[in-house]
């Protein structure tokens, strides 16, 4: 009997994905790896078992008779594992209060203020995770979300946290020889850094939004390095790699010491509104409402960090 330690779970997962997709390429997309990695896993599994599992069929693959016979058991095994993990997550969720927020905001604003909600948390441990879609809060086990999206869902409650200015900024060295750093023209030729909405921080307007608001055009608006997090792209901007567009609140630690400076001030700043969102019903709904109120109160006391 094969022990749990010897189970080739990655290879079995590759086989199940290949069976569903009928293609190494599509299986690789599902698993988030390369087609070569899927093929390597399948070959290793075949070598280990001493049996052929897949064969080529045009541009795709088909399972051998042996693989087809074993696949239902493999699928049931993964279903059982998923069920067990869901049960463990549920047990853990009863002991934690989960807050979802984009990582840059969570690290720079939320985390330092968690002591203000300690009493409302009671015996629950707080857990901070990356932003989730509001309609998947229950599925992801999120008790409170900090989101810039307006929620129209009837089963969600929300209050405003605050509004933030979204400003262009760069290292002083990039504009040292430019006579009018506050003019919109300053950004006509500077290299642009981007926060990629598909990678995490989907909070901020894009450069395309900014140039449209400024009434200006630029052909290479979508070109330039992309970063998952504002705190990372800020470091690239400090190194002089280009200008970024991000929340003044998140950039404040760099704007104050002069590592970055706000530029193109002639263009009115774009804004985003952060909101606190939580389920109206559920065992932690009243606790979420209390924690949201305390965070909103903390934000109101720091009106300098946001627009009134």
* 194 dihedral zone (left: phi>0; alpha: psi -120 to 50; beta): beta
Residue written as tokens 């009928």?
22
Q: What string of pLDDT tens digits covers the 308 residues of the chain?
A: 455 566 788 888 888 888 888 888 888 888 888 888 888 888 888 888 888 988 888 778 888 888 888 888 888 888 888 777 766 665 555 678 999 988 888 888 898 888 888 888 888 888 898 888 887 788 788 899 988 776 566 788 899 888 889 999 999 999 887 778 888 889 998 999 998 765 555 667 899 999 999 999 898 988 999 988 888 899 999 999 999 999 888 898 899 899 999 999 999 889 888 899 999 888 889 999 999 999 998 888 765 444 33
For residues 296 and 260, the answer to whether their CB atoms sit within 8 Å is no
Taking the whole predicted model, whether its pTM rises above 0.75 is answered as: no
Give the whole-angstrom CA distance, residue 33 versus residue 36.
8
* 307 dihedral zone (left: phi>0; alpha: psi -120 to 50; beta): beta
**Is residue 99 classed as helix, strand or coil in its secondary structure?**
strand
């Amino acid at each position: 009997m094969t022990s749990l330690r010897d189970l080739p779970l990655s290879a079995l997962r590759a086989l199940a994905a290949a069976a569903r997709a009928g293609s190494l390429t599509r299986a690789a997309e599902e698993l988030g790896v390369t087609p070569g990695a899927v093929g390597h896993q399948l070959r290793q599994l075949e070598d280990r078992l001493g049996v052929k599992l897949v064969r080529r069929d045009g541009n795709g693959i088909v399972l051998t008779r042996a693989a087809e016979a074993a696949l239902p058991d493999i699928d049931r095994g993964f279903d059982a594992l998923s069920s067990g993990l869901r049960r463990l997550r549920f047990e853990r969720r009863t002991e934690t209060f989960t807050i979802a927020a984009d990582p840059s905001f969570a690290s720079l604003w939320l985390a330092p203020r968690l002591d203000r909600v300690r009493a409302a948390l009671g015996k629950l441990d707080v857990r901070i995770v990356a932003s989730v879609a509001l309609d998947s809060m229950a599925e992801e086990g999120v008790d409170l979300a900090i989101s810039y999206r307006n929620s129209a869902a009837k089963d969600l409650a929300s209050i405003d946290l605050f509004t933030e200015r979204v400003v262009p900024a760069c290292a002083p060295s990039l504009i040292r020889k430019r006579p009018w750093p506050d003019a919109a023209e300053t950004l006509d030729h500077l290299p642009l850094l981007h926060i990629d909405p598909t990678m995490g921080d989907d909070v901020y307007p894009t450069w395309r939004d900014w140039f449209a608001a400024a009434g200006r055009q630029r052909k290479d608006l979508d070109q330039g390095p992309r970063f998952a997090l504002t705190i990372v792209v800020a470091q690239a901007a400090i190194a002089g790699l280009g200008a970024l567009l991000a929340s003044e609140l998140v950039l404040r630690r760099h704007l104050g010491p002069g590592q970055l400076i706000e530029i193109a001030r002639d263009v009115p700043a774009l804004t985003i509104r952060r909101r606190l969102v939580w389920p109206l019903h559920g065992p932690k709904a009243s606790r979420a409402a209390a924690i949201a109120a305390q965070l909103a109160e903390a934000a109101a006391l720091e009106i300098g960090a946001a627009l009134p």
